[in-house]
Amino acid sequence: MIPIRPRRLRSTPAMRALTAETRLHRSRLVLPMFVREGIDEPVAITSMPGVVQHSLDSVRRAVTEAAEAGIGGVMLFGIPEEKDAVGSGATDPDGILNVATRVVAEEVGDALVVQTDLCLDEFTDHGHCGVLAADGSVDNDATLERYADMAIAQAESGSQLLGLSGMMDGQVAVVRAALDDAGHSGVAVLGYAAKYASAFYGPFREAVDSSLKGDRRSYQLDPGNGREGLREALLDIDEGADVVMVKPASHYLDVLAEVAAASEIPVWAYQVSGEYAMLEAAAAHGWITRRPAILESLTAIFRAGGDVALTYWAVEVARWLDER
C-alpha cells in the first residue's frame, strides 16, 4: 500500500485548478509600448512579430484595447526623429515620449497605470543611457541631473509611475527628491534595480532605433553576479523606490526569487524582447506549442516571486485568461 499519493491533487482539471500554487492574473500584467515620432501608421518590428512602433493615433487605440482587456498598466517608450549627445528630446515637453504620455493619460489614465521609461538611451545619438564624459565614459552624476529633469517632465505629462532603467548609482534618490520638490510626491518610482547586461535585448534595440556604440557593461550588471543584483535592489529600496525590477526575467529567476524574499515592496520582472522573440520563433517553426509555452514562461516568473510581469503578450494573455 502506498500511503502518500500526491497524484490525488492532480487527478482532474478542477482539482488541479483548486490546488494551484501559482495563478496568473491579467491585472498583474504590464504591456511595454513603443511610440515613434513622425509616423502616421504603425511600423512593424521585424524581430518581434506582432509588436509595432505606434503612431500617436494607433497608440490611443491600442491602450484602449489594453484597458478593455483588463491588464494593469502600460510602459511607454519614445522614439524621436532627432537625437543629440544629451538626449534633449527626453525633457522637451513636446518630445515624443511626453506627448505620447499625455495622449495615453487622457485616454486611459483612470483605467490603467500609465508608466514611462526614464532613460536617455532612446534620445542620445550615442545610444548610451547617460551623458558622456570627455573620455567617452558615462558620467554618472551628470546623468542624474538629466534624470531629475526627465522625471519632472514625465510627471507633468501625466505619468503615474517612472521606470528608472538607466542603472546609474543614486538614481532613485535623486529622482524621488526631484519629484517631491516639484510637487509630484504622488508619482511612484520603479527602480530597475537588477538590470543585467544581457544578450537578450537585441530586438529591443531595433524597436527603439538604438544608436548604441559599444556596450553598457560599465553600468548594467554582469550576468554572473547574483549577489550584486540583490545588493542593488536593497539600495534602491533604501533610496525610496516604490517598486523594484529584475530584468531580464527568464534567465534571472534565481535573482528574482532572492530579491522577492528580501523585499518589503513589490518586485516586478521584465520579460524582455529576446525572450519574446525566441518563443515566437520557436512557435513559428512548430518546435513548441505557442500558448502553453507563453503561459508557462509567465507562470515561472510569478512562481519565482514576481508580483508583476512586463510582457509584450500582456493583452493576448489577458484574453486567454478570460477564456479560462
Q: Residues 36, 126, 195, 216: which is the catalytic one?
A: 195
Is 83 among the catalytic positions? no
- As a whole-number percent, the residues of the chain with pLDDT over 70 amount to 100
CA 209 to chain centroid, in Å, comes to 17
Q: What are the grid coordinates assigned to 136, written together?
A: 567617452
Residues 237 and 157: beta-carbon distance below 8 Å: no
Residues 230 and 191: beta-carbon distance below 8 Å: no
pLDDT tops 90 at residue 271: yes
Instruction: Describe the crossing of helices 56-69 and 96-108 by its angle, rounded to 10 degrees.
Output: 40
Q: What's the mean pLDDT in 166-170?
A: 97
pLDDT band at 184 (very low <50, low <70, confident <90, very high): very high
Q: What's the mean pLDDT in 247-260?
A: 98
Q: Residues 102, 216, 247, 315: which is the catalytic one?
A: 247
pLDDT tens per residue, range 98-134: 999 999 999 999 999 999 999 999 999 999 999 999 9
- C-alpha–C-alpha distance, residues 303 and 154, integer Å: 33
pLDDT tops 90 at residue 11: yes
Rounded to 5°, the CA angle 286-291-296 comes to: 110
pLDDT tops 90 at residue 323: no
More confident residue, 232 or 210: 232
Residue 248 confidence (pLDDT): 98
Side-chain half-sphere CA neighbours of 258 within 13 A: 17
User: Which domains, from first to last, does the chain contain?
Assistant: 25-244+311-323 (3.20.20.70)
Is 213 among the catalytic positions? no
Q: What's the mean pLDDT in 208-225?
A: 91
pTM, to two decimals: 0.96
